[in-house]
């Protein structure tokens, strides 16, 4: 099979396309023929340094995949060959998404929404699961609550806006002025231009803040929270601000989640959740995809077409 591997930790130029043996599914696993692979910030961050990921002998970047089940291992009854699936297998261990084939436990996949293409479905798992787990599982978001989503036009942000809205929240997003129309089209009730306005001066009485930016955004976000409100940081534990007494704070690391994938698929099918695709590139141009992503200017997701 074709796969994109990391020859050494470093810049996008270290991504190399090679030929590797096709993997075989083990007990409880499925072999998936990958049609499309999503690209996420964690991909280029781990490519640069290896980070804390448990890498195999041949490091293959990528976790978001959508494709077709080609074979099932012993004990698998959930899927059969020919089923279309999507998922975020094995995170934070190596999944090998930038490849023609992936193996993983069957329940780390769910059936692909029939209304979506493989490219659209590949844009969903990691970013949408991050938003779902942060809002539904960690924050316990309830209808009528107020949510502030930072970087609302980005990969996680544009899903967080839609999921919060689907859960019945009043949604406020931060985005540059040129992206306000897009964020409103996702369902946001208010949008703040972070370049011209200090969001903490324009927003108040918020129940939940989703911060995917980090830096001083955590400390500033405490100013807009109601007493007892929840601040969820996504970049890492170092972004949890000091002086947060009276608030709920925490770092959410996304996990493989069969039930979460099913909830996301249901929202996609009913039309309340749609992925925005910024760029589609062939697998052979994974380095270019990373270069584009690292600029931090994308609206929605970058996807690699594998088939």
Looking only at the bridges linking them, the beta strands covering 301-305 and 29-39 are antiparallel
Task: Report the predicted TM-score, pTM, of the whole model to 2 decimal places.
Answer: 0.96
Calculate mean pLDDT across residues 17-24: 96
My answer on whether 139 and 112 are in the same domain is no
Residue that has been written with the tokens 């004990």 in this structure: 75
User: If we measure between CA atoms, which residue out of 127, 152, 130, 128 comes closest to residue 139?
Assistant: 130
* Res 243: pLDDT: 84
My answer on whether 116 and 18 are in the same domain is yes
For residue 73, the enclosing domain spans 2-124+275-305
Please check the confidence at residue 57 and state whether its pLDDT lies above 90: no
My answer on whether 114 and 19 are in the same domain is yes
Q: Quick one: pLDDT band at residue 52, thresholds 50, 70, 90? A: low
My answer on whether 171 and 211 are in the same domain is yes
**The total number of structural domains that make up the chain:** 2
> What are 121-151's pLDDT values in tens digits?
999 999 999 999 999 999 999 999 999 999 9
My answer on whether 163 and 241 are in the same domain is yes
> What are 186-212's pLDDT values in tens digits?
999 999 999 999 999 999 999 999 999
My answer on whether 209 and 163 are in the same domain is yes
My answer on whether 96 and 19 are in the same domain is yes
My answer on whether 50 and 132 are in the same domain is no
66 domain residue, yes or no: yes
Q: What is the DSSP letter of 90?
A: T
> Helix 125-132 and helix 155-166: axis angle, to 10°?
50
Give the helix/strand (H/E) hosting 128: helix 125-132
266 domain residue, yes or no: no
My answer on whether 85 and 201 are in the same domain is no
> 211 has which bridge partners?
233
CATH number reported for the structural domain that contains residue 32 in this entry: 3.90.180.10
């Amino acid at each position: 099979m074709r796969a994109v591997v990391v020859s050494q930790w470093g810049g996008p130029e270290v991504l190399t396309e090679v030929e590797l043996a096709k993997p075989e599914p083990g007990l409880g696993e499925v072999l998936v023929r990958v049609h499309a692979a999503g690209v996420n910030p964690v991909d280029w961050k781990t490519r640069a340094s290896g980070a804390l990921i448990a890498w195999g002998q041949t490091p293959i970047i990528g976790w978001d995949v959508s494709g077709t089940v080609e074979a099932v291992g012993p004990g698998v009854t959930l899927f059969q060959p020919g089923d279309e699936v999507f998922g975020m297998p094995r995170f934070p261990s190596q999944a090998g998404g930038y490849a023609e084939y992936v193996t993983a436990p069957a329940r780390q996949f769910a059936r692909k929404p029939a209304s979506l293409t493989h490219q659209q479905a590949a844009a969903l798992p990691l970013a949408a699961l991050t938003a779902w787990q942060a809002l539904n599982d960690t924050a316990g978001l309830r209808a009528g609550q107020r949510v502030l989503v930072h970087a609302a036009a980005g990969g996680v942000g544009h899903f967080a806006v839609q999921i919060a809205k689907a859960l019945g929240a009043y949604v406020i997003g931060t985005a540059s002025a040129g992206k306000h129309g897009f964020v409103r089209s996702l369902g946001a009730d208010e949008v703040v231009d972070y370049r011209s306005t200090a969001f903490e001066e324009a927003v108040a009485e918020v129940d939940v803040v989703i911060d995917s930016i980090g830096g001083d955004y955590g400390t500033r976000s405490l100013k807009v929270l109601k007493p007892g409100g929840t601040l969820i940081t996504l970049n890492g534990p170092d972004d949890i601000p000091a002086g947060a007494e009276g608030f709920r704070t925490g770092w959410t690391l996304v996990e493989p989640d069969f039930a979460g994938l099913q909830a996301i698929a249901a929202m996609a099918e009913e039309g309340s959740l749609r992925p925005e695709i910024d760029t589609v590139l062939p697998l052979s141009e994974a380095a270019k995809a990373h270069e584009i992503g690292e600029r931090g200017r994308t609206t929605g997701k970058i996807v690699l077409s594998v088939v």
